[in-house]
Structure 1
Amino acid sequence: MKLFAAVALLLTLVALPARADDPFYAASVDTADRGEQAFRTSARQALARVLVRVSGSEAVLEMPEAAAALAKAAGNVSLYRYTTVGDQRVLFVQFDPDLIKGILRRSGAMYWPEQRPPVLAWLVLDGPSGRRFADPATDIELIEGLREGFSNRGVDLRLPLHDLEDQATITTETVWQKALPQLQLGSRRYGTDHVLVGRLVELSSGAILCDWLYFDSESRMTRQSRSEDLMAAVAPAVDLAVDSMAQQYGVALIDLAGTSHLIVRVEGVDNYDQYQSVSELLSSIDVIEFLQTVAIEADAVVFRLSGIDDNETLLRLLPQGSAVSVLDSSAEQQVSLRWMAP
C-alpha cells in the first residue's frame, strides 16, 4: 500500500516544539524567603543544577559562558512556584530547554539526552554484627541520599530484590570481594549495563569509609571516600557512575548557522501509520531541531534533519528498543534504516 497522498502536504520544514513543562530542565532549591535577593540566589542555584544534569558533568560550571548565564539566571526563569516542605520554603524553578541547549552549545559542553539507563547498586555494610546488604527500610539516609544524588543528575537508581534468584548468584561476600563475573551475571536480570558496587564501613571514630566500584559493558572504575558525613561519603559514588555514563552518551550540540543536514532514508514504510510512527521516533530525539520529509517512495520515506550532523551520533541517540535496524551508515551524512514494526 502506498502512502496517502496527503502526506505530500507535510513536505515542509518544521521546527520541533519544546515541551511546555519538563522537569528535566527544572530544579527545586531551598530558599530563605520570597524576596528578590533570595529569588536571584535560588534561581542561580537551580540553573547550576540543571546545567550539570543536562550536560552530565559539573565541569560545565567552570566554563565562562555558563558563569555568565548563572549571573543572570533570575531573568531567564520560564516558570517558578513556591512550596513548603516541613518548615522549609522551597522554590521550584524551570528554564526553557532552548536556553539550556544554547548555553551548552556556546560553552562547547556536551549534551546528554533525557532518556538515560538506570544504575543498579549493590551495597554492603560492614558493622559490629558482620556484613549485610543495605536495607531501604533501615538504611534510609544512605538509600535516599544515593537516590536523590542520582536523581539530581538525571539518572534513576535501582536496588536489587535480594530474592532467592539473587541469593543464588550474589552474596555479601561476592560484593565484598568485588567478584566481577558473578556481579555481571547477577545484575543481568535488572536490564541495565550500569552497576555500582559499594562497600561501607563505619569506623570507631564515627567516620564512614567507602570503597566504590562502577562497571558497565565497556569500563571498570574504582574510587574511595571517607567522611564524617554520610552524604559526603556517598557523593563520590554518584560522580563516579554518572561522569562515566555522560562520557558514553553525551553528544556535542552543533551550531545551526551554516550547518549541513543529515539525510535519513527509512525503508519498510508503506502506509500512513508507519510514516507517522517513524516521524514521531525521529522527533523524539531531543537534539534534532528541524525535521523535513523530502521524498516519499513506494515503501520508503526520506527525511532531512538538522541538529545532528554525523551518522554515528544519530545511531547513538535512537531510543533503545526502537523498531528500526541499520541498513547502511557508510556514506557521509546519510543513513539508511529499515522500519521493523507492523
Structure 2
Amino acid sequence: MRNFACLILLCLTFSGYAATQVNIYRSEVALDQEQNEDQARIQGMENVIIRATGEKDAVDNPVVKKALSHHRLYLSQISYGQKDDQKIVKMQFSAKQIRTLLTQAQLPFWPEKRATILVWYVEDQNFQRNIAWENVANANVQQLKQLAEKRGLPLIVPVGDFDDITSIEASDIWGEFLQPIRDASERYHPDAILIIRAQSDTLNWKLYDQTPEKLLDISVPPMSGSLSGDDDLSQLVDQLTQYYANKNRVVVAGQSSHSMILNVKHLNRAVHFFKLEQALNQLSSVASVDTIQVQGDEVTFRVHLLTTQEAFEQELASLNLIERLPEASGDVSLGQPADDSQTEQSLPSEETAIDGALTNPSLSEERSPEDSTEKKSVNEVDAQTMNQSPAAASVTVLQYQWHERPVSEQSDNAQTGSSQDASSLN
C-alpha cells in the first residue's frame, strides 16, 4: 500500500508538467437587444473556429462561411443562464463536426493540449512597482486572462500567498533576474514563463518558452516585444496565440469522409463541365468538389458535404443544370480504374470535346468571364483522389445527366450576339 501511495504521488508530481487540456468547443455568448439567439449561435461557432485554429481570420474562409449558416448541425448541446443581469447562451459544439469542417476548409488545427503559461505581471506606477497576484483584483490582469480564454491560451497568475511574497520581489521581475524567477515559478509547474512590465502606456513583454528548470539555459533565446495603446493586451494575446498555434498546429491530410459521388452524363461540351463545377462549388451545402474521372461525355465528382444528402439534392434541383436519372442510387464500391492509362486521363481542353475527339476549330468557344475565375484548369485531374488506395470504399453515388437548357437561356445567348447554330450548343 505504501508503494502504491508513493506511485500516486510520483504521478501527480510529473502530471503537473503536462500541458493544459483546453475545452475549445465550448462557447458562451451574452444576448442583448441588438442580437437574437440565432446570431448568438453563429458568434458562438465563430469563437470555436477561432479557438480551434488559433487564427482570427479563419471565420472568413469560404467553406467556414457556408458552414456558419448551418450552425445547428454543429451544435451538440445548448443551455441558458444569467450573468451580470444578462441572458447567456451556453453552447457545446461537436468536436468531430468541427474537426471535419476544418479539414474540409483546409485549415490547420491547434490541438486541445496546450502549453500552460505562468504570467509575472509588474506595474510601475508613481515610481512604485507591484506584482499582480491572483488573489488581488487587477483590471489589466483580468482583461488579459479573459482575452486569453477566448483564444484558448492557458494563462495562470501566481496566487500571491506567503510562499510567493517571500520568494520573489517586484525588482527581481523588473530586472529580469532569472534565478529568483525560476525558484518562484517551480511550484506552478508551467510550460512557459511570461514576464510583463507595464509602465505608463507602454507594455514590455518577454516569453521564455521553457520550463523553470531550463530557464537559465541561455542557448534558448526568449521572445520579446513592446506594445502601446489601448489594445496592447489584445495585441499581446494575438502574438502569443499566433506563436503557439503555428508551433503546434496540425494540418490534417486528405478530405473528410462526409462525402458522396456525383456522376453526370451527357456533358457534351467543355463549357458544360466548367459551368457545373462552378455551380457545385457555390452551393451552400458543399464544402469542396474534386473531379475524380472523365470518360467520354461522363464526369464523376466527389462532393464533400457540409449538410445532409437531402439538402444537397434539393440545391441540385434548384440549379436547373442537371436532372436525376431514373436509375436508383445507393452504396456502391468505388475503386481504382482497372486500366492505369484511364487513371491518367486528362480533362478535355477547351479545344477538345469531352468525348475525347478533337472539335472543329470553328466550333471552339471562348470561356466566359465567370469561367475564368475557376481555380482548376480543365486539363487537371485531382492527383490526391487518383492516388487513393486500390482498396474500394463504400460510398453513395448519385446518377445525373446534363439538363437541356430552357428556351429562355437560348434566347439570352442569341441576344448576346452568338453566331453559333442552336443545335451545336446542345
TM-score by length of 2: 0.47
Larger mean CA deviation between 162-171 and 75-84 belongs to: 162-171
The alignment partner of 1:252 has SS state of coil
1:196-235 correspondence to structure 2 within 5 Å: 196-202=194-200, 208-217=201-210, 220-228=222-230, 232-235=231-234
Aligned letter for 2:207?
Y
- How far off its partner does 1:168 sit? 7.2
Q: Cα distance, 1:104 vs. partner?
A: 1.3
Give the direction of change, closer, same or farther, for the CA distance of 1:176–1:62 in structure 2 (3 Å limit). Answer: farther
Counterpart of 1:190 in structure 2 is 188
Q: Hey, what does 2:90 align to over in structure 1?
A: 92
Separation in 2 of the partners of 1:125 and 1:108?
A: 42
- For the residue of structure 2 that corresponds to 1:160, the secondary structure is coil
C-alpha displacement of 1:251 = 1.2
Query: Radius of gyration: which is bigger?
Result: 2
Contact 1:123 1:133 survives alignment (8 Å): yes
> Which runs of 5 or more structure 1 residues have no equivalent in the other structure?
1-21, 203-207, 259-342
Match of 2:151 in 1: 153
Q: Answer with 105-114 or 73-82: which moved more.
A: 73-82
Matched, 1:61 2:59: yes
1:31, 1:80 → 2: CA distance?
Answer: 14
Q: In structure 1, what is the Cα distance between the partners aligned to 2:199 and 2:204?
A: 9
**8 A contact 1:40–1:74 mirrored in 2:** no
Q: How many Å separate the matches in 1 of 2:158 and 2:221? A: 21
Say if 1:219 and 1:96 are closer, same or farther in 2 by CA, change over 3 A: farther
Label 1:112 to 1:73 Cα distance change in 2 as closer, same or farther (>3 A).
Answer: same
What is the percent sequence identity of the aligned residues? 22
**C-alpha distance in structure 1 between counterparts of 2:179 and 2:59, whole Å:** 38
Listed one character per residue, the Cα deviations across residues 3-44 of structure 1 (whole Å, up to 9, x for unaligned) are xxxxxxxxxxxxxxxxxxx953120011126x9x71221112
Looking at both structures, which has the greater relative contact order when contacts are Cα pairs under 8 Å and sequence separation is at least 6? 1
Task: Output aligned runs, 1:1-342, within 5 Å.
Answer: 23-32=23-32, 38-74=36-72, 76-128=74-126, 130-161=128-159, 170-180=168-178, 183-184=181-182, 186-202=184-200, 208-217=201-210, 220-228=222-230, 232-255=231-254
Higher strand share: 1
**Structure 2 CA distance, aligned partners of 1:162 and 1:23?**
27
Equivalent pair of 2:122/2:173 in contact (CA under 8 Å)? yes
- For the residue of structure 2 that corresponds to 1:251, the secondary structure is coil
Question: How far apart are residue 250 of structure 1 and its match?
Answer: 1.8
Instruction: Check the 8 A contact 1:223/1:236 in 2, yes or no.
Output: no
TM-score (norm 1): 0.58
C-alpha contact 2:63 2:104 (8 A) present in aligned 1? yes
**Paired position in structure 2 for 1:265:** none
For residues 147-198 of structure 1, the C-alpha deviation after alignment (integer angstroms, 9 at most, x for no partner) is 2222222233222355676567643223223345654554344222311111
Residue 46 (structure 1) shift: 0.8
In the TM superposition, residue 227 of structure 1 has moved relative to its aligned partner by: 2.9
Matches of 2:146 and 2:112 in 1, distance apart?
17
Provide the C-alpha distance between the structure 1 equivalents of 2:124 and 2:53, rounded to a whole number of angstroms. Answer: 35
CA 190–138 in structure 1, closer or farther in 2 if over 3 Å, else same: closer
Q: Is the 8 A contact 1:125 1:200 kept in 2?
A: yes
Q: Distance in 2 between matches of 1:66 and 1:83?
A: 28
Task: For residue 113 of structure 2, give the secondary structure of its aligned residue in structure 1.
Answer: coil
| SS state at 2:254 partner | coil
Q: Given the superposition, is the C-alpha separation of residues 257 and 125 from structure 1 closer, same or farther in structure 2, using an over 3 Å criterion?
A: closer
- The one-letter code matched in structure 2 to 1:107 is A
Q: What corresponds to 1:332 in structure 2?
A: none
For the residues of structure 1 that align with 2:177 and 2:80, how far apart are their CA atoms? 48
Structure 2 unmatched runs, 5+: 1-21, 211-219, 258-426
Residues 169 and 100 of structure 1: CA distance in aligned 2, closer, same or farther (over 3 Å) = same
- SS of residue paired to 1:195: strand
Q: Is the 8 A contact 1:83 1:91 kept in 2?
A: yes
In the alignment, what sits opposite 2:341?
A: none
Give the deviation of 1:219 after TM superposition: 5.7
- For 1:313-340, what per-residue CA distance to the aligned partner results, in whole angstroms no more than 9, with x for missing partners? xxxxxxxxxxxxxxxxxxxxxxxxxxxx
